Amino acid sequence: MQDHKLLYGVYIRAGMFSSLIIVILMFLFVPYAEPEPYKLKKDIVTMVEEISAMIEKFEEPPPEERPKVAVEAESEIADEAVETIAASEFEEDLIRTTPTGPEIEIVPYYKVEVKPKPIFMPVPIYPDLARQAGIEGKTVVKALVDIDGSIIDAKVLKSSGNQMLDQAAVVAARKYKFTPAKQRDKFVRVWVAIPITFQLTGG
């Protein structure tokens, strides 16, 4: 009678070898069934919505014939300002300091209930170099009207294409004076746009 405990290792090797042979024979003789591609029950349509943002552009005036004599042109107020008055001879140059106390609210122009109105619009100083070179242009200045109607900040919103004209426009805009803006019976700060035109006209 054989001792199966002594032949345990032989049985393990023979079983593994037989299993390997059976697996190889299955790969060789069993036909391969190619799976069918999955078909959607419903057609899926992907729609992409394109959103285009329109940027408002300033229209450039047509070129005009350059005159011989240089004369300063008066500035004009953009659509934000309701009334336009003649320029006065009085010039005011105040040194603004940083306000203390609670921060004053800045309200968008279209939300302001009582719009600021111009009451003092000084004539901008035409730079001599620009005048001699026959340079013309229009600068739009963005100015912040304080609760007392004075301008506490001004920056170029649309350049004239010439740095000298832009700087002169900012200097003139800082001297403008408005009636204060109101929102819910409270004085507020508001940004306004001030177009200033530099044009050489014949005398």
pLDDT digits (tens, 9 = 90+) for 67-114: 554 455 555 554 444 333 444 444 444 445 444 445 788 889 888 899
Domain residue spans of the chain: 1-30, 109-198
Task: Classify each residue of 141-165 as buried b or exposed e, where b means 16 or more C-beta atoms within 10 Å of its C-beta.
Answer: bbbebbbebbbbebebbeebebebb
Residue 131's CB: how many other CB atoms inside 10 A?
16
CB 127, CB 165: distance < 8 Å: yes
Domain 109-198: which CATH number of 3.30.2420.10, 2.170.120.12, 1.10.15.40, 3.40.50.300:
3.30.2420.10
- Label residue 171 exposed, middle or buried (CB < 10 Å: 0-12, 13-18, 19+): middle
Name the pLDDT band for 138 (thresholds 50, 70, 90): very high
